[in-house]
Amino acid sequence: MIYDYSDLVSFHRNTVYKNVSKHHRITRGAVGGALFGGAGAVVGAMTGGKDYRAVKKMSVSVYFKNGPEFEQKYVQFETKEDSWSYRTASSSASQLEGHLRFIINQNATPVQVVAAPDSRQQPQPENESKVENDTSDKESFDQLRELKKLLDEGVITQDDFDSKKKKILGI
C-alpha cells in the first residue's frame, strides 16, 4: 500500500527482550562424576552455563492521519543481542527512523510565502542579505539532498519528491 508522506504523524520502535540462561548442570555433573567421582559431580554441576540477552521481536510502527498504521518487522524470532543479524536489523530500523523523523520535520515546517517586492520597503544592507541567503541556500540544499536520498531508497515517490522540491525552492 502507498501512503502520502504528508499524512505521516508518528512512529516508534517496538522491541521485546528476553533474558536467556543456559545451564547444563545435569550433564556437567554426570561428566564430572564419571571423571572425578562425587567431588567432580558437585563441581561439574556448579560450574558453567551462559546467560545472555536476546531479542524476541523488533519492529517499527508507523502511524498516519485518519488511523492507518504500518508495521515494518525486523526481528521475528529469538535472536542474540550481540549477533550480526540483530546489529544489522537494528541499524536498518535506525535508518528508517531517521528518514521518518526527517519527513515528520518537513511536514511540520511552515510553508514560506514570498511576497511581491514593495517599493516602500527599505533596502537591506548588502551584508545582512547575503548572510541570510547563504544560510537559506545551505538549508535548501541540505533538504534537497535528504529528499533525493529518500527517493533513491524508495521511501518516497517521484511525485512526492517533485512537490517537496518545489515547496523548498519556492516554485
pLDDT score, position 77: 92
Q: Name residue 75's amino acid.
A: V
Q: What is the pLDDT of residue 131?
A: 42
The reply to whether the predicted model has a pTM over 0.95 is: no
Helix (H, G, I), strand (E, B) or coil at 35: helix
pLDDT at residue 130, as a whole number:
45
User: Which pLDDT belongs to residue 128?
Assistant: 46
Is there a contact between 37 and 20 (Cβ–Cβ < 8 Å)?
A: no
Closest among 48, 27, 29 to 38, alpha carbons compared: 29
The residue ranges of every structural domain in the chain are 5-169
Query: How far is Cα 105 from Cα 61, in angstroms, rounded to an integer?
Result: 17
Q: Which residues of the chain are modeled with pLDDT < 50?
A: 127-134
Region of 154 on the Ramachandran plot (φ > 0 left; ψ -120 to 50 alpha; else beta): left
